[in-house]
Amino acid sequence: MAFAQQNITTGANPGTDPIRVMVVDDAVVIRGLLTRWLDSDPGLSVVGSHRNGKLAVDDIEKSNPDVVVLDIEMPEMDGMTALPLMLAKKRDLVVIMASTLTRRNAEISLKALSLGAADYVPKPESTSEVTTSVDFRRELIDKVKALGIRARRMRGPGRTMRAATNAGRTVSQAPVGRLANTREPLRMAQGGTGAAAAPAAAFKLRAYAAVKPRILAIGSSTGGPQALQQVMKDIGTAIQDVPVVITQHMPPTFTAILAEHVGKAAMRPAKEGAHGDVLQPGNIYVAPGGKHMILEKEAGAVKICLTDGEPVNFCKPAVDPLFDSVAKIYGSAALGLILTGMGHDGAAGVKTIAAGGGSVLTQDEATSVVWGMPGAAANTGMCSDVLPLPEIGPKVARVLKGNAR
Could you list the active site residues? 221, 249, 345
| Helices then strands, each counted (H, E), the chain | 12, 17
Cα–Cα separations (whole angstroms), residue 163 to 45, 159, 170, 179: 36, 13, 9, 19
| Beta strand spans in 174-257 (E) | 201-204, 215-220, 244-248
- What type of residue is 304? I
Q: Answer yes or no: are the C-beta atoms of 364 and 385 closer than 8 Å.
A: no
Q: Are 42 and 145 in contact (CB under 8 A)?
A: no
* 284-286 β-sheet, strand order: 270-272, 284-286, 244-248, 215-220, 334-338, 359-363, 385-387
**CA–CA dist 298, 180 (Å, integer):** 41
**Dihedral, CA atoms, 307, 310, 316, 317, nearest 10 degrees?**
-30
- CB 400 within 8 Å of CB 217: no
What is the β-pairing status of strands 292-298 and 385-387? unpaired
160 CB-contact burial (10 Å; exposed 0-12 / middle 13-18 / buried 19+) = middle
Cα separation, 269 vs 60, in Å, equals 42
Pinpoint the alpha helices (H) of 205-346.
Answer: 224-235, 254-266, 319-330
Question: 219, 322 in Cβ contact below 8 A?
Answer: yes
